[in-house]
Amino acid sequence: MEITKQIINLLVGLVVFVTGMNFMASGLKTCAGRSIRRLFKKIRDNRFASAAIGAGTTAIIQSSGATTVMVVGFLSAGALTFAQGLSLMLGAFVGTTVTGFLVALSSFSFSIFLMAVAFVGFILGFFKGENAKSIGEILVGFGILFFGLEAMKGAFSVPEIRTWIVNLLTSVDFPPLLMLFGAVLTMLTQSSSATNGIVIVMVASNPSLITSGFYLVLGATIGALMPTFLAAAKSSILAKRVTYSAILIRTIGAVLATVIVWIFSKQILNLLSSVPTDDFGIMLASFTIVYNLVFLAIFLPLLSPIEKLANHVFRDREDEHKRQALKHIDKNLLNTPSIAVLQVQKEIETMLGMARTNMFLGLRAMLTGDLSGAKILEEREDEIDYFNTAIAEYLIQLSPKANLEDETRIAAYYHVINDIERIGDHGVNFMDMAKAMSEEDISFSDTARSEFENYGLVLEEMFELAADIFMDRKPEGLKRLHDLEEETDRLKEVYENNHFNRIKHNECNNALSPFHSSLLTELERVADHLTNIGYSVQNPTGDEVKHTAEGSK
């Protein structure tokens, strides 16, 4: 009967521990989620910085799975490159080791005070401010996490259970099977933190199991990628390539580490004994961070060959279909740069047309509440992202062969495809805001819709002019394009004042203010991007400094 009771305590402790982790993650995501997303969008091609951001993000939100799933989302949106995405994932593996040290703290006498912070968090939950509630959620999660650890530790301290676990692991005593068990357990719990928590507490109570603990936590590093694998299953080909590459190298790393530990277990134990503690749980937590740092140091410099291998191995019919969408540029034209430049110009015009369609599709969704075009918009956004990447790569190949005049155009084209890609992003943002408005069951007034429709008419003319000027069909249209851009600035100010006057006279729902303001701001930025496109080739310096400054928004 006592054994049954302690087994229940062990299982309940695990549930409480995972619940605490979820509470912490939820609160931390609320506090830091937007900042993290903005940070991800600003990442550049610096693999070390990306890895550091991945590690820091995971250390903050206490979930490598959440970080890597977020990375998959950014990859699918075309906001990250292969190297950036994989660097972030590799960093996330390091960040998740922080959890192991939190678990190891449960062996210290002050852990009772760490549990007590749950009460402080509970009190903060009654405050009105969102930040206070989020901090309260974090503290509640932190406290009950240690409460769950205490329950598990108590169960492992029972001689009968300790003997049963020792006998079980001794009977297995085959490193590959132990690693597999750690991977399966992590897949089932969807959390390497839960697996590591159990193993570290187990080892702290039974030091003789530390070698088995090595293999179990190594297996957990593979199983931790299950949420990422599921997220990437229906994502873009780039997200699949990064995710499958991460799974492959993570598996290779775990298998190699298992073999090394298998052969040099005594030497590794001697090395860990140099850690200034006699707590075997802390020794195992130290092992996890050393392993992940070594793993990062080995694979981070190999991103380029890994990407080449991934592009060769992980092919997709959808990707091949998109490649056929480029109708004009051809590698055979690289030896005749003057013709190639003209063909690139045609592809860019096609790309602008897709961005234009998406922008107005998103705008219409916000004004009418019609979300039926969301899937089509997402698919077209993938095509825009592909055009952006493919054209940029072609321009890189073309640039060394071009003369000075063509080189000037090529430099301008880089900026143009960037502006077009951002216009497409605004369309996606509009659709996201339309979904949020639908969930909140709010919509713009007839007056506001009429104003936005009028703004849209100005942008329609700007799209036509920007395309004609860019294609050299109407270079004299620059003055008109500039005047229209000035008009969008004026309309933005007028419509903002109109909106606040309507709120003042109770003619509009105040809950619409964030959406109204965001839509106006983004529409103005679309106008700025169109102005940049018009000036890109005809007059790259522009007629005012502000075109360059506003185009970077």
Q: Which residue has the tokens 């939190």?
A: 102
- Specify the pLDDT at position 548: 38
Question: Residue 268 corresponds to which tokens in the numbers above?
Answer: 């590794």
pTM of the model: 0.49
Categorize the per-residue pLDDT at 547 as very low, low, confident or very high, splitting at 50, 70 and 90: very low
pLDDT digits over 279-322, tens only? 677 788 888 888 889 999 999 889 889 988 888 877 655 444 44
CATH annotation of 331-551: 1.20.58.220
Q: What is the DSSP letter of 373?
A: T
Amino acid at 212: S
Of the candidates 309, 242, 302, 307, the one whose C-alpha atom is nearest the C-alpha of residue 86 is: 242
The letter for the amino acid at 284 is L
Alpha-carbon span 251 to 502, nearest angstrom? 60
Model confidence pLDDT, tens digit, residues 188-236: 766 677 677 778 777 777 777 788 888 988 988 888 888 778 767 766 6
Under 8 Å between Cβ of 452 and 519? yes
As a whole number, mean pLDDT of residues 374-388 equals 91
Distance CA 337, CA 399 (A): 8
Q: Kindly give, in sequence order, each residue whose CB lies less than 8 Å from that of residue 514, ignoring residues fewer than 6 positions away.
A: none
- Residue 454 and residue 498 in contact, taking contact as beta carbons nearer than 8 Å: no
Question: CB neighbours (10 Å) of residue 462?
Answer: 25
∠ Cα 253 257 258 (to 5°): 120
Query: Which residue's structure tokens are 């506001």?
Result: 448
Non-local CB neighbours of 231 within 8 Å, separated by 6+ positions: 68, 69, 72, 73, 239, 243
pLDDT band at 543 (very low <50, low <70, confident <90, very high): very low
Average pLDDT over residues 515-531: 95
Write the pLDDT tens digit of every residue in 238-249.
Answer: 888 888 898 999
Is the backbone of residue 173 left (phi > 0), alpha (psi -120 to 50) or beta? left
Do 300 and 48 contact (CB within 8 A), yes or no?
Answer: yes
Whether the Cβ atoms of residue 47 and residue 303 lie closer than 8 Å to each other: yes
Axis crossing angle, helix 97-104 with helix 82-95, rounded to the nearest 10: 10
Whole-Å CA distances, 6 to 14, 205, 208: 12, 14, 21
Q: Computed over its alpha carbons, how large is the radius of gyration of the chain?
A: 28
Whose tokens are 């995405």? That residue is: 85
Residue spans per domain, the chain: 2-153+166-313, 331-551
CA atoms of 12 and 155, how far apart (whole Å): 10
Q: Is a pLDDT exceeding 60 seen at residue 43? A: no
Question: How much is the average pLDDT of 466-477?
Answer: 88
List, in sequence order, the alpha helices (H) in 274-373: 280-299, 303-313, 317-323, 337-368
Burial of residue 228 (CB within 10 Å: 0-12, 13-18, 19+) is buried
Structure tokens, 149? 């650890």
CA distances from 498 to 445, 450, 518 (A): 12, 12, 15
Question: Quick check: 351 and 390 in contact, CB under 8 A?
Answer: no
pLDDT of residue 552: 37
Distance between the two ends of the chain, CA-based, in angstroms? 67
- Report whether 448 contacts 508 (CB < 8 A): yes
Q: How far apart are CA 530 and CA 92, in angstroms?
A: 38
- In the predicted model, what is the mean pLDDT of residues 17-23? 65
